[in-house]
Amino acid sequence: MKKGILAAALITMVLTSAQIGFTAQQASTAGATLQKAPAFTLTRTDGKPVTLADYKGKVLIVDFWDTWCPPCRMEIPHFIELYTQYRSKGFEMLGVVLGREGKKTVEKFIVDNKINYPNAYSTEAFLNAYGPINGIPTTFVIDKKGNIYQTYVGYRDKAVFENDIKALLAK
pLDDT at 132: 85
Domain tally, the chain? 1
Q: At 152, give phi and psi (nearest 5°).
A: -125, 135
pTM over 0.95: no
d(CA 37, CA 126): 11
Is residue 29's pLDDT more than 70?
A: no
Mean pLDDT throughout 3-19?
41
Instruction: Determine contact, residues 137/97, Cβ cutoff 8 Å.
Output: no
Domain that holds residue 140: 3-169
**Domain holding 126: CATH number?**
3.40.30.10
Q: What is the pLDDT of residues 46-82, one digit of tens each?
A: 999 999 999 999 999 999 999 999 999 999 999 999 9
DSSP 49-61: EEEGGGGTTSEEE
Q: CA-CA-CA-CA torsion for 157, 133, 129, 84, nearest 10 degrees?
A: -20
